[in-house]
Chains A and B, each alone.
Chain A
Amino acid sequence: MELVEFWPWIALAAFGAYHGVNPAMGWLFAVALGLQEQSRAALYRAFAPIALGHMASVAIVVAVVALGRAIVPTDILKYVGAGALTAFGLYKLFWNRSHPRWVGMRVGFRDLTAWSFLMASAHGAGLMLAPVLFNLPGYGQSVAEAIDARDVPHAEYMFLGAPASIGTAAAQLTAVGVHTVAMFGVMTLVAVVVFEKVGLALLRKSWFNLDRLWAGALIVSGAVTAAL
């Protein structure tokens, strides 16, 4: 396998790490719950639901992109995706500085999952992955392109579609998995280090405005999508 085939997976993992390190995506809530209960167990209990909510939000984008690729020619889809990303990034940068209203500090598994899903969706965590998703190995050509390339009669669409779907589904699941594992790992690491060692005073100086950077990342993702 050539190195070029790894880069989408590395990129998905890197985005996972970036999401994991963002306090607004979950590690800070986990630390707060641990401190409130004065309990390491409360801290660790928070990780699974936060990762689950994040995963669900990302999975929706992955599924939408896959569906799009199956029914829309790649060229058109690419520009639609690039436009959506850029627009969302600009919106987040200039208009939308509010945050999801989720009043409540006493949260259980279901609440935390829903909260994490909401935060990831509102921040466009999954959208940011679009340029990578457009270039995932295993997606291959869209069905329409495959048919054109092989000059297959219309009657055989269904048969050709099937193996392509299997490859696509595996790639989708792997994409969601790689991203979530990276996010989970980094979130857990940061939360445990802050809870056990560093303390929350670091928030005052180092809580960098990831939202702004985030909006920038969305816009860059849009540009990259269009260019690739």
Chain B
Amino acid sequence: MSTWTPDPTFYPSPKMAMDAPQEELAYVAIVNPNEDGKPDALGVLDVDPKSQTYGQLVGRMNLPSSGDELHHFGWNACSAALCPNQAHPHVERRYLLLGGLRSSNIYIVDTKNDPRNPKLAKTISREEFEGKTGYSRPHTVHCGPDAIYMSALGAPDGEGPGGIFTLDHDTFEVSGPWEVDRGPQKMAYDFWWHLNHDTMITSEWGTPRMVENGVLADELLASKYGHHLHVWDIRTRKHKQALDLGPENQMALELRPAHNPRSAYGFLGVVTSLKDLSGSVWTWYQDGDDWAVKKIIEIPAEPADAELLPPLLQGFGAVPPLVTDIVLSLDDRYLYVSCWGTGEFQQYDVSDPFNPKKTGSVHLGGIVRKAAHPNGSAVNGGPQMVELSRDGNRLYVTNSLYLAWDAQFYPDGIRGWTAKIDASPEGGIEIDSDFFAEFGEERPHQIRLQGGDSSSDTFCYPD
């Protein structure tokens, strides 16, 4: 049933959302790495500093089956419901949609009645999802103005094309593929949009076959992984433009458009370059009627003894930074970059989106560096998925990428953790020594904050 007034977590503009109350709970996707028949889970972390159980896992909902490999997830509704062209502001932000990246099941979880004990509301089976869309391996979730949008890596046979599909935000019925004309697009990964410019951007990782058994070194060296952005017209659902980063740039992953709906630019994280193993961040931007993309940050690889490196990297004698996730503050001022390989976490002032200034850096883990947490705990893995509170002050990072890839880059195994990093409004970041949630053998992946965060909502009204 609809509500009488808009969901209190919806905000017309990003600046208004920055004044939202501080989050008290964080939802985290937990992956069971052991093939022991035990399921993955949605965990609930207490992130209220006033609470007795601050920093602890206070709830969990096991999935009904095993082997799903949870990855990304997202809210059913958000501030995009306030957009004027198809307003429906009386829905609730209460369901999380979780895609099993390996199983292709989609789980819809209700967080309303007891936020610490979320309940499974609906399961969309692989058969139903694949049958209706022709896609497989669901990934990113974004609450849109007219529907819930999701991306999928590829087709059921493990090849392409991957793409976008939508679900009804009341019934969660899956409709068909979103694209009317996909042009040259085949690979898929992330997507987001500039709603006020009627433009969607999609990125490329690799087809399911290219990722599910680990990174394929031969295909990587042959530049077969994704190195394009695709620009789409949302009104016609047609492919408009492919932006080539150059074949040496491999795996164009996370997309973070400017939150200000007037701004037609955004940031893309690229995992690695075949030229020198550097990682990079790019800015895409509107250029007249066309769109263009430009590298703005290059993070060099760090030389290392071959014997300290996993077999995959020994031939290179260096640790690649591996830019696997980025997040942009709601005021579009700070961009945060996870370097999962070197264990560095960076902050940039991107007030000028073409001239970033590095304003902060911390280390946690890393393939060679293995930096300890300030509370003294030894950590492995590195900062990977990151989420930022709406006020821009608190970052939550987890350390697992994807099981088959974890094993290649961190062959000693990963013990899951979530750390918190505090950001100063004037720049600078610091790891919170009081917050370190450990998950044992289980591996946390994406985090979503109760009420919204810095990569959930889209806003249609500029400040």
Choose, from A21-29, A67-75, A137-145, A178-186, the stretch at the interface: A21-29
A98 to B85, CA, bound (A): 13
Contact of A23 among B11, B87, B195, B460 (CB under 8 A): B87
Contact of A105 among B2, B3, B10, B197 (CB under 8 A): B197
Q: Quick check: is A154 within 8 A (CB to CB) of the other chain?
A: no
For chain B, the bracket of interface size reads 35 or more
Closest partner residue, chain B, to A205 (CB atom): B5
Contact of B235 among A24, A32, A104 (CB under 8 A): A104
Q: Quick check: is A207 within 8 A (CB to CB) of the other chain?
A: yes
A206 to B82, CA, bound (A): 13
Question: Per-residue CB proximity of B1-17 to A under 8 Å, as 1/0?
Answer: 01111101011110010
Contact present for A102 and B2 (CB under 8 Å): no
Number of A residues with CB within 8 Å of any CB on chain B = 32
Contact of A99 among B82, B86, B234, B261 (CB under 8 A): B86
Q: State how many angstroms separate the Cβ of A16 from the closest Cβ of chain B.
A: 20
Contact present for A204 and B10 (CB under 8 Å): yes
User: Using a Cβ cutoff of 8 Å, how many contacts connect chains A and B?
Assistant: 95
Additional pairs, 16, CB under 8 Å, beyond known A200-B12, A206-B5? A28-B84, A29-B84, A29-B85, A31-B84, A31-B461, A36-B261, A98-B88, A99-B88, A105-B197, A106-B198, A115-B85, A203-B82, A203-B89, A204-B12, A209-B4, A209-B90
Contact present for A208 and B83 (CB under 8 Å): no
Contact present for B6 and A103 (CB under 8 Å): no
Q: Quick check: is A197 within 8 A (CB to CB) of the other chain?
A: no
Q: Quick check: is B146 within 8 A (CB to CB) of the other chain?
A: yes
Contact of B4 among A29, A38, A201, A208 (CB under 8 A): A208
A1-42 contacts to B, CB under 8 A, are 23-24, 28-29, 31-32, 35-36, 38
Contact present for B13 and A103 (CB under 8 Å): no
Q: Which residues of B contact A211 (CB under 8 A)?
A: 2, 90
Q: Quick check: is B294 within 8 A (CB to CB) of the other chain?
A: no
Closest partner residue, chain B, to A101 (CB atom): B146
Q: Quick check: is B170 within 8 A (CB to CB) of the other chain?
A: yes
What are 30 A-B residue pairs whose CB atoms fall within 8 Å in the complex?
A: A23-B84, A24-B87, A29-B84, A31-B84, A32-B461, A35-B461, A35-B462, A36-B262, A38-B462, A97-B88, A97-B170, A99-B87, A99-B146, A103-B198, A104-B234, A105-B83, A105-B195, A105-B198, A106-B196, A106-B197, A107-B85, A115-B85, A203-B82, A203-B89, A204-B16, A207-B5, A208-B5, A209-B3, A211-B2, A212-B4
A83-133 contacts to B, CB under 8 A, are 97-107, 115
A23 to B83, CA, bound (A): 11
Q: State how many angstroms separate the Cβ of B355 from the closest Cβ of chain A.
A: 24
3 closest cross-chain pairs (CB), A and B: A29-B84, A200-B12, A28-B84
A75 to B138, CA, bound (A): 58
A41 to B35, CA, bound (A): 63
Contact of B2 among A35, A101, A107, A212 (CB under 8 A): A212
Contact present for B86 and A100 (CB under 8 Å): yes
Q: Which residues of A contact B88 (CB under 8 A)?
A: 97-99
Known contacts A32-B461, A208-B5: A103-B85 contact under CB 8 Å: yes
Contact present for A103 and B5 (CB under 8 Å): no
Contact present for B6 and A207 (CB under 8 Å): yes
Q: Which residues of B contact A205 (CB under 8 A)?
A: 5
Known contacts A35-B462, A36-B196, A211-B90: A102-B4 contact under CB 8 Å: no
